Amino acid sequence: MHIFLPLPLLLLSTAQAALLPRQTASQTTSSASASPTACNNHASLCSRSYSNITHLGAHDSPFLRNSSSNSGFGLSDAGNQNIDSLAQLSAGVRLLSAQIHKSDNALHLCHTSCSLLDAGLLRDWLSSIKGWLDSHTSDVVTLVLVNSDNVAATDLASEFVASGISTYGYTPSTAGQWPTLQAMISANTRLVTFVASLPQSSGYLLNEFDYLFENPYNNTAASSFTCAADRPVAQPASAAIATGKLPLLNHFLYQTMTLGSTVIESPDTASIGTTNAATGTGSLGDFAAACAKDYGGKAPWGLLVDYFDQGDTLKVVDDLNGVANDQATGRQEAGGTKMFTGAAGPAVRLPTNIKVAGAALATAVAGWLVV
C-alpha cells in the first residue's frame, strides 16, 4: 500500500544560470484605454497574451507547514508551502492550486480529507484573494481548483459570489484565444479559474482540461520528469501541444519510506535545492527549457512547484518570460517562518503529532496526495 504524505524538506545550495528565453509570438491586440506601468510585476508583459506567459504556480497553495488553520487530526507539520497564499502572491506567484472538499455542509480547502488537513472555508480563502486583487490592480491571478467531491458549478459559483471575487472572473469569448494582460487588467477581469473537473465550463468557472494539459505528477526520480501529457489523456508532448491546450507542468519529486508494511511517499527533501533550481539534473530551469523545445519553442504556460520560496523559481520564470529578474516591480521578499537553516540533514521526518501504528496509520492517511 502506498500513502502520499507531504512532509518538510531541506534546503541545498542552488545554481544560477540563464535559461532559454520565451520566443516572441503574435499577441492579441489590447483595446484597453489605459496602460499600467507593470503587469504581473513587469512592464513588458502588459502587451503579451495571457497564454504566452509562464506563470509561477504554488502547488497546494493554502496547505502550509505548521499552519494554524489545521484542525482535527491535522498534520500541523505538513504542507506544501511555507507561507500563505497572499504572501505567495506578493512575492510573485501568480497561480494558486488548491483542493475543494465538502465538510459540515460547507466547502472547505482540505488536503485529501478534512479530518487530516483543513485549511478553512473556500469562501474565506477566496475573500482574502479578492482583497489582494483589490489592492493590486495591475495583476492577473489564476486559480487551479481540484474539485475533489464533484461539487456542482452552481455551488462553486455561490462561493465566488459570496466572497465578492466573482466580479473579477474572466470568461473566454472564444476557446483557445486569450487577451493580453493589459486588456484583462483594463476590463478588470483579472481572475482566471480552472476547475478539475466540471462536466462543462460555466461562465468564469472553466473546466481545466478543456484548456490545459498536465504532465505526470507522481515522480520519484528526476529521470521520470517528462514533458508529455498525462491528463486529460496520455500523449506525446507534440500531440498535446497540437491540441491548443496550455501546458501546466508539475515539477516536484517524491521519495519512499517504509513503516512496517506501510509505504509512505513524501517530497524528496534532499533534492529540493536542485528540483527548484535554475540548472542541474532534474532542475526546474533545465526541465522547463527542455519542454520549451519539445513544445516547438513555446515555453510552458505554468510551472507548479512545492515550497516556491526555496531555490530559483522566480528567476526561472523570469528567464522563460525573457524579463530581468532584478527589474521586477512590486515584488515583496517571501516572509514568514523559514523551514531551513541551510544545513543538510535527514531527508524525511514524521510530524510529531503522528504515531506510527501500521494499519491504523495506513487507514488514516491513505491517498494523502491529490494533485
E-only strand ranges, 78-228: 95-103, 106-110, 118-121, 141-147, 191-196, 205-207, 212-214
The three grid cell numbers given for residue 110, joined into one nine-digit string: 482540505
- Residues acting as catalytic residues: 59, 111
Residue 15 identity: A
Find out whether 42 and 92 touch, Cβ atoms under 8 Å: no
Among 192, 186, 320, CA closest to 249: 320
* Cα atoms found within 13 Å of the Cα of residue 270, Cβ hemisphere only: 10
Helices 122-135 and 153-163, axial angle in degrees (round to 10): 50
| Non-local CB neighbours of 126 within 8 Å, separated by 6+ positions | 159, 160, 163, 165
Residue with cell 544560477: 16
Which single residue is written with the C-alpha cell 534546503? 11
- Residue 210: all three cell numbers together: 478543456
Closest CA to 313 of 8, 42, 55: 55
Strands 141-147, 118-121: parallel, antiparallel or unpaired by DSSP? unpaired
The three cell numbers locating residue 213: 494539459
Instruction: Pull the grid cell for residue 251.
Output: 515539477
3-state secondary structure of 181: helix
Contact 337, 82 (CB under 8 A): yes
DSSP 336: S
